[in-house]
Amino acid sequence: MPDTAAATLLIDGRWQSAPATFDVVDPASLAVVGQAADAGPERARDALAAAARAARGWAGADPETRSGHLRAAAAGIRARQGELAALLSRENGKPLAEANGELAGAARMLEWAAEEGRRAYGRVTPANAAGPGLVLRAPVGPVLAITPWNFPASMLIRKVGLALAAGCPVIAKPAEQTPLIATALLEIVQDTGLPGGVLQSLTTARPAELVGALLADRRLRKVSFTGSTEVGLGLLRQTGDILRRTSLEMGGHSPAIVFDDADLEAAAAGVVTGKFFNAGQSCTAVNRLYVHESVRDDLLSLIEKKTAALKVGRGDAEGTDVGPLIDEAGLAKVENQVADAVGKGARVLVGGNRWTDSALPGHFFEPTVLDGVTPDMLISREETFGPVLAVSAFRTDDEAVELANSTDYGLAAYVFGTDLRRVWRTLDRLDFGVLGVNDPAPVRPELPFGGQKNSGQEREGGAEGIEAYTETKAVALRF
């Protein structure tokens, strides 16, 4: 257990501090709420050495034992959910209800990983004259888990749970904006009695330097990254002459298609949730709404009403629906997209400006709906990562699919409609890894999560999520 304020480094089973620390800031008030240790390359190498020493023992541990640690960690999170939610909300700014939902989801993920890890089966092939063949799945080895600030609990726990379940030691590298919730969660996982070196954590304000040192070391066998497309592609470029498994979950630019046969009330509620959840700072956030022109006015009037009713404020204030953005750069990007769209003819139906309150100097933006968005606008090409919904109308299903697919991203897409044949035909043609049908939250532990195109590679969750932490071995037996 960390015994000093900034002992946020977990290396070889011991919580440690570092000579330098960095501040953690509440994005609503901009007050400093804590410090984290600033690890550099040397600590990273210590952690990797410990992980490499622990790898064989953990790979050989009884799957039931690994599963027991994960179930105990899930129970530990559930037991302290309220306190953890307050910390998550303070550090990230999200409403308490969302923080609670994220933590409950993290616990469910651990429980699912505990179960699925025991089912990492291989195959036996039919015997030929010499003997049968076996297909085995072996843990890949030490894993680096690089996680973002927007879902600092669920993204971290998903990687840690799946990697540990598969039999791999993990070095977690939480985002510098949210190291405290990460530390609290990893402490719970560690306190289930994990052997030294199996789980480690490196907080740092110098991610490029620290990660660079780990990538240069052959003992690191897998990187699992969630974050921006720019940084993710940079990690691939740094591969050099060391090939290792790399999972990337990067940006998104999710379309939502609303057909004229949709339940408009449910579709409006789904789009508003899918957009403004986490203040729009989600890689699966609805960015672009394509609505059939015959129901455009009806749908927009419902969306307008629901959006105008959203309450902006501190995440821990009663009734808050939309918290602050994480930083000034995030806010500036949103403002720029809105100004560009309005300059090119989009109409602001709701919001459109910074949200201000003299007691809260943080980075707030009004929940915003823009109508009449066209493909030449920045918001049609760039991920927004903020509370702005861009709306366009379509006439034919082909046009809707073409508009939805007209992006380099391919993470999530949403379809609202009741004609299942039409929905099915559409799903079939959408180039996205995760599809929500009348469902604005299509992320479940049982389902593989991940994107196509520049949104990423490999999957987290589902049987695929365990497989991503294993190597395949083919065994030819001759008797």
Residues 293-332 that bind ligand ADP (CB under 6 A): none
Using rule CB under 6 A, residue 77 touches ligand ADP: no
Question: In angstroms, rounded to a whole number, what is the distance separating the alpha carbons of residues 27 and 327?
Answer: 7
211 binds ligand ADP (CB under 6 A): yes
Single residue of 66, 137, 173, 459 touching ligand ADP by CB under 6 A: 173
Indicate which single residue of 113, 175, 388, 393 sits in contact with ligand ADP (rule: CB under 6 A). Answer: 175
As beta bridge partners, residue 14 has 11
249 assigned to active site: yes
Task: Give yes or no for residue 234 binding ligand ADP (CB under 6 A).
Answer: yes
The one catalytic residue among 91, 98, 116, 249: 249
Single-letter code of the amino acid located at 35: Q
Counting residues that bind ligand ADP (by CB under 6 A) gives: 13
Residue 456 Cβ, how far from ligand ADP at the closest point, in Å? 12
The residue range among 46-54, 87-95, 145-153, 354-362 that interacts with ligand ADP, by the rule CB under 6 A, is: 145-153
Query: Which segment (2-10, 104-112, 114-122, 205-213) binds ligand ADP by CB under 6 A?
Result: 205-213
Sequence-distant (≥ 6) Cβ neighbours of residue 25 within 8 angstroms: 31, 32, 33, 177
Interface segment toward ligand ADP; rule CB under 6 A; list 79-87, 142-150, 216-224, 332-340: 142-150
Q: Which of 231, 266, 441, 463 binds ligand ADP (CB under 6 A)?
A: 231
- Look up residue 223 and give its amino acid: V
By beta-carbon distance, which residue lies closest to ligand ADP?
227
Looking at 34, 139, 142, 227, which residue binds ligand ADP (CB under 6 A)? 227
List the catalytic residue out of 283, 366, 383, 458. Answer: 283
Part in contact with ligand ADP (CB under 6 A); list of ranges 54-62, 120-128, 171-179, 361-369: 171-179
Question: Does residue 168 have an active-site annotation?
Answer: no
State the nearest-atom distance from the C-beta of 155 to ligand ADP, in Å: 9
Cα–Cα distance measured from residue 364 to residue 357, given in angstroms and rounded to the nearest whole number: 9
- Stretch touching ligand ADP by CB under 6 A, among 63-71, 118-126, 144-152, 164-172: 144-152
Answer yes or no whether residue 146 interacts with ligand ADP by CB under 6 A: yes
Q: What gap in Å lies between CA 321 and CA 351, rounded to an integer?
A: 15
Tokens of 448: 């593989």
Closer to ligand ADP by Cβ: residue 147 or 284: 147
C-beta of 176 vs 397, nearer to ligand ADP: 176
Distances (CA, A) of 74 to 69, 192, 226, 254: 9, 10, 22, 31
Are 26 and 91 a contacting pair, CB within 8 Å? Answer: yes
- Footprint of ligand ADP on this chain (CB under 6 A)? 146-148, 173, 175-176, 207-208, 211, 227-228, 231, 234
Catalytic residue annotation: 249, 283
